[in-house]
């Protein structure tokens, strides 16, 4: 009788649930979007109940559509956007919305961390710089600004930790999420007590740290009723979406890299040695003796979604075809590289510039500019951001000989050709270009003994659907345009910061006048 594994990814935009057989073949899939809450400039949250609702509905849809016998689903793994900060009480109920990775409200907390701890020593212990991206400054903001809620907090968990709790009634945190906390010693695999102590944070506020493929528990009776799953199905600890994507793509050995493209983009480069770079990010891999250096871009796919939602009027039933329509408009109105440069910094930017106050810019538009040219500029801007991170990695001695791309953006032929041309590097797209769910399923299968060797399984499942070669007629022009891209940011950075300060002052004065 056929057995199955389920991979679930809690993304920034939607939940993707995919059911696989034991050969890595997709049996059924479903996805559901949910809202991201933009409270004010730099403040970004999500309602965790929306994650759970989307997980329930996608699992039920797969079971109903594919008529799967629930007892044949051996195990499941959940990955997620990272890192986020979700506080829950002793019953596991959220005490507030989650501050997701995109949230940049904690600049003042980051300044205090720099003033309080030895920044170089912290970098040596964690492999990461002090930035609002990470969990520690988010916890400090929460502790200082919502002390009544903080006092009621039992655990601080991640999106997959919340889904795991809803499925099993067990709290969880994997070592890879821990490595993005800015308070976890990645060399010795333990919390950094002196950092937590100086800020009066009890390390017990975090769940026990486990490996991604460790068995967490089985589906609870209530969760079985909510999802249609069997109480016999095993749930693993799970991992960060980027790690699941790296496993899905077979990016484990030195020299292999994958671009995971969705709301944000992440360039993940495998290394067999600990390598740090202050302008990039480090996290552990789910495979023993392998590590990941990554460049994280905040709003690449989100920029295209902004175009989709603000320059068009779509029938809600046609949103699935929207991006194909955008591609068609590019091919019609802007089939060649143009004169517009776009900075994809709609919510600040992570690596390699690490600037909370950077903002999006279209440079070079005129009365002749067509909508398709703006769309192409967005595609090119995302490619330039990817090149910026790739160059940073290479400058620090990291090798990239093979580049793959997974996720929603990998479905666009024109975007992939632009990226290959901007990087002057072939980019391969696997058949399973899902972003993370197959990686989740491989980890789940490893936990129950179906896949004894994660690396061997990942490599055997990786089958290339298409390789995009650089368009040599575009390569030199894109190199020149890339220099303009960097120059536009460096020449406007001070102005963007000044504009932020001006608006903050205006907003404060306006709010005071309304009291």
The yes-or-no verdict on residue 405 having pLDDT over 80 is yes
Residues 100-139 pLDDT 10s: 999 999 999 999 999 999 999 999 999 999 999 999 999 9
Q: What is the mean pLDDT of residues 293-317?
A: 90
CATH architecture of 300-383+482-514: 2-Layer Sandwich (3.30)
- Tokens (6 digits) for 191: 């919390």
The yes-or-no verdict on residue 275 having pLDDT over 90 is no
| pLDDT band, very low/low/confident/very high, at 428 (cuts 50, 70, 90) | very high
Question: H/E/C letters for each residue in 250-319?
Answer: CCCCCEEEEEEECCCEEEEEEECCCCCCCCCEEEECCCCCCEEEEEEECCHHHHHHHHHHHCCCCCHHHH
Query: For residue 429, what are the β-bridge partners?
Result: 466
Lowest-confidence region among 69-73, 158-162, 281-285, 453-457: 281-285
- Please state, for a pLDDT cut of 70, what percent of the chain lies above it: 100
pLDDT value for 480: 97
Which class in CATH covers the domain with range 4-237?
Answer: alpha beta
Residue at token pair 């935009």:
13
d(CA 181, CA 201): 13
Q: What is the mean pLDDT of residues 255-274?
A: 89
pLDDT value for 285: 92
pLDDT value for 76: 98
Nearest to 219 by CA among 364, 63, 110, 340: 63
Quote the mean pLDDT of the chain: 94
Residues 334-361 pLDDT 10s: 999 999 999 999 999 999 999 999 999 9
pLDDT value for 173: 97
In this structure, the strands spanning 37-40 and 361-363 are: unpaired
The yes-or-no verdict on residue 508 having pLDDT over 90 is no
User: Pick the residue with more confidence: 253 or 114?
Assistant: 114
Domain boundaries, the chain: 4-237, 250-297+388-435+449-468, 300-383+482-514
Nearest to 160 by CA among 33, 269, 48: 48
Q: What is the mean pLDDT of residues 315-344?
A: 91
- pTM to 2 decimals? 0.89
Which residues have C-beta within 8 Å of that of residue 429, sequence separation ≥ 6? Answer: 404, 405, 406, 410, 416, 464, 465, 466, 467, 468
Residues 82, 84, 90, CA angle at the centre, nearest 5°?
130
- Tokens (6 digits) for 410: 């990998």
Kindly report the CATH number that applies to the domain delimited by 250-297+388-435+449-468. 3.30.420.40
The yes-or-no verdict on residue 515 having pLDDT over 70 is no
Lowest-confidence region among 121-130, 451-460, 505-514: 505-514
Task: Check for a shared fold between 250-297+388-435+449-468 and 300-383+482-514.
Answer: yes
């Amino acid at each position: 009788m056929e057995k199955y594994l389920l991979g679930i990814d809690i993304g920034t935009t939607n939940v993707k649930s995919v059911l696989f057989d034991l050969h890595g073949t997709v049996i059924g899939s479903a996805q559901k979007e949910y809202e991201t809450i933009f409270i004010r400039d730099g403040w970004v949250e999500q309602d965790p109940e929306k994650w759970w609702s989307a997980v329930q509905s996608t699992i039920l849809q797969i079971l109903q559509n594919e008529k799967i016998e629930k007892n044949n689903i051996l195990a499941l793994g959940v990955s997620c956007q990272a890192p986020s900060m979700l506080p829950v009480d002793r019953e596991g109920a959220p005490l507030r919305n989650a501050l997701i990775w995109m949230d940049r409200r904690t600049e003042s907390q980051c300044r205090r961390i720099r003033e309080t701890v030895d920044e170089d020593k912290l970098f040596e212990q964690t492999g990461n710089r002090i930035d609002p991206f990470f969990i520690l400054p988010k916890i400090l903001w929460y502790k200082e600004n919502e002390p009544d809620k903080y006092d009621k907090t039992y655990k601080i968990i991640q999106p997959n930790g919340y889904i795991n709790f809803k499925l099993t009634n067990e709290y969880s945190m994997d070592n890879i999420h821990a490595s993005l906390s800015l308070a976890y010693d990645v060399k010795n695999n333990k919390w950094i007590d002196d950092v937590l102590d100086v800020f009066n944070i009890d390390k017990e506020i975090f769940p026990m740290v486990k490996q991604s493929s460790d068995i967490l528990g089985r589906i609870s009776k209530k969760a079985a009723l909510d999802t249609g799953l069997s109480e016999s199905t095993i749930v693993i600890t799970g991992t960060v979406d980027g790690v699941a994507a790296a496993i899905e793509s077979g990016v484990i050995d030195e020299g292999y890299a994958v671009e995971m493209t969705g709301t944000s983009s992440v360039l993940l480069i495998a290394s067999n040695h600990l390598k740090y770079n202050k302008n990039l990010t480090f996290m552990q891999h789910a495979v023993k003796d392998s590590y990941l250096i990554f460049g994280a871009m905040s709003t690449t796919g989100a920029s295209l979604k902004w175009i989709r939602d603000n320059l068009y009027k779509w029938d809600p039933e046609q949103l699935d075809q929207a991006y194909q329509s955008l591609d068609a408009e590019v091919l019609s109105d802007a089939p060649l590289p143009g004169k517009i440069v776009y900075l994809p910094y709609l919510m600040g930017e992570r690596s390699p510039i690490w600037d909370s106050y950077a903002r999006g810019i279209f440079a070079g538009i005129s009365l002749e500019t067509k909508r398709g040219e703006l769309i192409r500029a967005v595609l090119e801007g995302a490619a330039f951001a990817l090149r910026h991170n790739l160059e940073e990695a290479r400058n620090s001695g990291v090798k990239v000989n093979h580049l793959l791309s997974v996720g929603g953006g990998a479905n666009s032929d024109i975007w992939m050709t632009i990226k290959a041309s901007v990087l002057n590097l072939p980019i391969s797209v696997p058949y399973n270009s899902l972003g993370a769910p197959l990686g989740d399923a491989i980890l789940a299968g490893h936990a129950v003994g179906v896949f004894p060797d994660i690396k061997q399984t990942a490599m055997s499942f990786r089958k290339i659907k298409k390789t995009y070669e650089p368009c040599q007629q575009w390569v030199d022009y894109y190199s020149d345009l890339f220099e303009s891209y960097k120059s536009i940011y460096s020449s406007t950075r001070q102005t963007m910061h000044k504009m932020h300060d001006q608006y903050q002052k205006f907003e404060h004065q306006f709010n005071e006048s309304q009291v």
